[in-house]
Amino acid sequence: MSALWTSEEIAAATGGIASTPFVVSGVTFDSREVQPGDLFVAMPGTVHDGHKFVDQAFASGAAGAIVSQPVSGPHVLVEDTFAALQALGRASRERTSATILGVTGSVGKTSTKEALYAALDRCRPGKVHRSVKSYNNHTGVPLSLARMPRDAEFAVLEMGMNNAGEIAALTRQIRPDLGLVTAIAPAHIENLGSEEAIADAKGEIFQGLEPGGIAIVPNDTAHRDRLVRAARRYADRIITFGGGDADVHAIHAVAAEGGGSLISAALLERELTFTISQRGEHWVTNALAVLAAVEALGEDVAVAGLALADMAGLKGRGQRHMVPLEDGEVLLIDESYNANPASMAATLKSLGDERDVGRRIAVLGPMRELGEHSDALHAGLAPAVLGAHVDRLILIGDEMRPLAEQIVGKIALDLTATVDEAIEDLMQMLRPGDAVLVKASNSVGLAKLVEHVAKAPSCST
């Protein structure tokens, strides 16, 4: 077991008192995720207090805990466990010599974070750290920092937000050497009111840049200049990616055999032809962002390109399942984790670009946190649905009625009230050769539909 933290270091970082010497190899605040050797942080919760799960954590092999009340196992006693986690994250950032990359954006931030990790890990095997899942908020960021290995050479950390000021607080914890904004779209517009405000909130990432820091900015947004202005106050270097006059752009991109894209790109100092395994034009843009960052950091872009070619699909973000039926297979495309107008349009276009499939079926749930713009933005998906040549459309919930009203009579349409009803409708209509896209905001729970179809396919009809 390699030592991530000793009890003495934890106590020094948090201002706590260690009950006994111990060493940990990992950190978590979820008792269900405890692995042997982990440090369990007993976080206060809105539903359950983490202290109720300390015994469970020790039973699962935790080597120690951070607690605000005495427990029987090895622990560091602090006044506030959340504040202690933040302090441990700060201590990790202070001691590391790693180059830190911060990633945010309205869409594509987790996918781009994973692609950056894959690219840098191919360049520096075993020396790259990243935030897992979407641990990108006020608890996930300090946890991701606290988990950073002592010998990491790079760390790729994601930052998310629901309101103005949240990225600013996170970027000051991360203190990135490179800050990357993937895209601006009307996600969280309910709280922020306008895309301009969203761009300003995402641009807060540059406020935490270390001296000599690099800003990576999307060119394909009406808010590019706004982001550039935000970066100019803090960044030593600003690089744009995407189309048009972007510093890093695709000379051409075509569909690759077996899926994905073959791209020839103009980078900062050279041109590179490479393939990416992920499908869709949005992934071409993601790849350009990744290579812009890799080249700006002085790493090998050709090696990074090989990693992009090998990258597998991400659960809930484009993972593809070939589901067997009695007489063939169904392609199930899992985009169930998140949805906003930009990502909906991008993934629907990818569905329309699918070749060698029979019917195209889209199962779409609501896009959340759109506030007063919700009806208009849902109705505005109609051109993307029609342009994707969808043969059957299943919509879930009253929030999708504005879209249904735009589509009715043009496509075979089912408007269902619940995910369970959508599952029943989909299972009855599936037949070999179908391509099924599943997409909604995560809170809708469409992962349940994906799991059901992937594990228990119906017989062909």
Q: What is the CATH number of the domain that holds 432?
A: 3.90.190.20
Q: Residue 106 annotated as binding?
A: yes
Q: Residue 105 annotated as binding?
A: yes
Distance (Å) of CA 60 to CA 116, 179, 267, 456: 32, 37, 48, 32
The whole-number pLDDT of residue 20 equals 97
Q: Are 253 and 333 members of one domain? A: no
Q: Which among 270, 236, 235, 234 is positioned nearest to 251, based on CA atoms?
A: 270
Q: Two tokens at 295?
A: 């080249």
The whole-number pLDDT of residue 46 equals 66
Q: Are 9 and 157 members of one domain? A: no
Q: Could you give the 3-state DSSP secondary structure of residue 428?
A: helix
Given 310, 334, 359, which residue is the final one in a domain? 310
CA distance 399 to 350: 24
Does residue 461 form part of some domain?
no
- Residue 354 confidence (pLDDT) above 90: no
Distance (Å) of CA 449 to CA 121, 278, 336, 414, 437: 33, 22, 9, 16, 11
Q: Residue 109 annotated as binding?
A: yes
Counting the structural domains of the chain, the total is 3
CA distance 98 to 67: 29
Q: What percent of the chain has pLDDT over 90?
A: 80
Q: How crowded is residue 346: how many other Cβ atoms within 10 Å of its Cβ?
A: 20
Helix, strand, coil distribution of the chain in percent, nearest 5: 40, 25, 40
Q: Residue 110 annotated as binding?
A: yes
The torsion angle over the Cα atoms of residues 210, 213, 219 and 220, rounded to 10 degrees, is -30
The whole-number pLDDT of residue 457 equals 47
The whole-number pLDDT of residue 191 equals 79
Average confidence (pLDDT) over 373-394 = 94
Does residue 87 form part of some domain?
no
- Domain residues for 10? 5-79
CA distance 429 to 440: 20
Does residue 89 form part of some domain?
no
Q: Are 144 and 273 members of one domain? A: yes
Does residue 418 form part of some domain?
yes
C-beta separation of 34 from 61 below 8 A: yes
Distance (Å) of CA 270 to CA 218, 264, 397: 20, 11, 49
Give the bridge partners for 362, in sequence order.
393, 437
Average confidence (pLDDT) over 385-394 = 95
- For residue 301, the surrounding DSSP H or E stretch is helix 301-310
Q: What percent of the chain has pLDDT over 70?
A: 98
Distance (Å) of CA 432 to CA 3, 286, 456, 460: 52, 32, 15, 7
Q: Are 275 and 129 members of one domain? A: yes
The torsion angle over the Cα atoms of residues 364, 185, 167 and 190, rounded to 10 degrees, is -70
Q: What are phi and psi of 368, to 5 degrees?
A: -95, 170
The whole-number pLDDT of residue 1 equals 57
Q: Are 429 and 298 members of one domain? A: no
Q: How crowded is residue 237: how many other Cβ atoms within 10 Å of its Cβ?
A: 13
Q: Around 329, how many Cα atoms within 13 Å sit in the side-chain half-sphere?
A: 9
CA distance 270 to 156: 24
Q: Are 17 and 110 members of one domain? A: no
Q: Are 181 and 208 members of one domain? A: yes
Q: Report pLDDT digits (tens) over 45-55.
A: 767 899 999 99
Q: Two tokens at 110?
A: 């987790």
The residue written with tokens 């032809």 in the block is: 273
Does residue 151 form part of some domain?
yes
| C-alpha dihedral sign at 398, 400, 406, 407 | negative
Return the higher-pLDDT residue of 123 and 188: 123
Q: Report pLDDT digits (tens) over 333-347.
A: 999 988 888 889 989
Q: Report pLDDT digits (tens) over 169-226.
A: 999 999 999 999 999 988 767 778 899 999 999 999 999 999 999 999 999 999 999 9
